[in-house]
Amino acid sequence: MKKVLIPTKLDTFAAKLLRQNGFEVVQDADRELNVLVAENSDAAVLIVRSEKITADIIDALPKLKLVVRAGAGYNTIDTKYARRKNIDVMNTPGANSNAVAEEVIAMILGASRHLVRGDITTRNGEWQKKNLMGRELTGKTIGILGLGNIGQLVSKRLQGFEMKFLGYDPMISASMAEQLDIELCSMEEIFSQSDFISLHIPENDETRGIINCKYFDMMKDGAMLVNCARAGVINEDDLRAAKQDKKIIFCNDVYAKDAAGDKSVADIADLMLPHLGASTVEANFNAAKRAAEQSICYFDQGITDCVVNKDIPDGLDANYQRLANLLTGIAHGYLGQQKQPVRIESSFYGNLNQYAKWMLSPITAALSPDFDPYLDAGDAESFLSERGIEYKNREISNDKNYGDSITIDLFMGDEVINKVSVRGTLTEGNLMVSRINNFDRLYLAPSGHNLFVEYSDEPGIIGKIAGILGENDINIIDIRAPQDLKINRSLASVKTDVPVDEDLLAKIKISVGANIAFCYSCKS
């Protein structure tokens, strides 16, 4: 009989269902996690909510096979260490989505009509009616950053207020946005046009501190910002400065640490809640039910659909997954990072075709920071489908003698002009980009920062690019410039010591008459 340890306040339905299926269950939300772990070191399953599962906790459970996060986010679990110990980590995506969406709406309404302050002052015998003038939602504009499950539900739940909906999500297609009655636009447009802004983006290296003075300066006076996503996506100091000038209304439910104590945003938040997004009876039940069902199916049927830290199969070099991610990232940069493809097509040559499903997660992760590359092909297919993006893995012929190589094509539409094709392989263990469109024999080892400029082939262009970089103290490490003689164009690939920012890209593009100029920085 396998033991399940549930050291958290989770609906008892999980324990009931697990016991009915032959598991021994210990559930205790009152005692310290370390104590419970020490007393139940023979546990095979650990079901948690926001508890921090460190390497020490994992080491203290030598029989542990599975950790289930009853909820979506799993940043409190050391998934990489769990993988090294051959322990699978699951989450229960979608179980809490409606609860969070409804909380966003509650915060918007509560802050708009001063419900908390009104209640407190009226209970104190005061009558501050003239100081509590509110504002209505009807006819206003709301911008939603991140159109996954929660972001989509926020828009659906607010439809009755007859609002205008703006959305930003690089992975949502135009057709899907149209179905949701959301106008896709840039982050700049959202912050400059919205009366209300709701954040639903993950916290990672790309998004940490992304909501900063650049966007606060664009906001309307008195606009409202709601953060029920992750604390780290907002630069608090920049918000503090902007709040004084713009009178921004800030509603917050997320913090660096979920615990009692002083909160860094206490002086700037108009409404604060103790991370209550998933704290509903229904969400707790849904998460409990999902956690129990997934645990049962994991051991009885070997179902691993929601494992977030999957390993790679024997025989596949993990560098090919990195290559698939990199080729997709370069292709996305070529088409424009602010745009989303409608179709992805891939070709895996040589021995790689048998591992095609293991490549889809890194491909998807290159298109959106919202997707975790540890998820499997089924999750990736669902993620793409939800955003109206078609994926096709082409049948290949190895008669072309491409060896073990990968081709990734992204399509913005049916026209050839809206397509980009990138091929790459491994050479002596190193990642190599061999072709972009018809710019063949590129032979780029894409480490560090890479500037790509496509231009009409004529003398002096490389010199102009190098001159502009030099004027801005950017050192050139390597240059490649293959030609496409059919269209009389060249593609300069310039490796630099630092990334080239958007302003400098625009200057280069104008200076050399380029139709494409972008920078792609490879992750180490």
- Summarised one tens digit per residue, pLDDT across range 261-312 is 999 999 999 999 999 998 999 999 999 999 999 999 999 888 888 888 877 7
* Domain 97-272: which CATH number of 3.30.70.141, 3.30.70.1560, 3.40.50.720, 3.90.1150.10: 3.40.50.720
Check residues 347 and 378 and name the one with the higher pLDDT: 347
Say whether domain 3-93+281-301 belongs to CATH 3.40.50.720.
Answer: yes
- Domain spans, the chain: 3-93+281-301, 97-272, 318-521
Task: Tell me the sheet residues that pair with 408.
Answer: 346, 422
> What is the rounded average pLDDT of the residues 118-140?
96
Statement: residue 170 has pLDDT above 90 = no
What sign does the CA torsion over 300, 301, 306, 308 have? Answer: positive
Interstrand relation of 516-521 and 449-456 (parallel, antiparallel or unpaired): antiparallel
Statement: residue 413 has pLDDT above 90 = no
Characterise 77 by phi-psi region: left (phi > 0), alpha (psi -120 to 50), beta (else).
Answer: beta
Classify each residue of 251-280 as buried b or exposed e, where b means 16 or more C-beta atoms within 10 Å of its C-beta. Answer: bbbbbeeeeeeebebeebbbbbbebebbbb
Question: Which of 363, 344, 365, 523 shows the shortest CA–CA distance to 450?
Answer: 523
What pLDDT score does 284 carry? 93
- Phi/psi for 407 (5° steps) reads -120, 130
DSSP state of 313: P
| Cβ 417 vs Cβ 334: under 8 Å | no
Write the class of the CATH domain 318-521. Answer: alpha beta
> pLDDT tens digit string along 87-127?
999 999 888 899 999 999 999 999 999 999 999 999 999 99
pTM over 0.75: no
Same fold, 97-272 and 318-521: no
Question: Which of 84, 73, 5 shows the shortest CA–CA distance to 37?
Answer: 5
First to last CA, the chain: 44
CA distances from 74 to 51, 52, 104, 373, 491 (A): 10, 9, 21, 13, 42
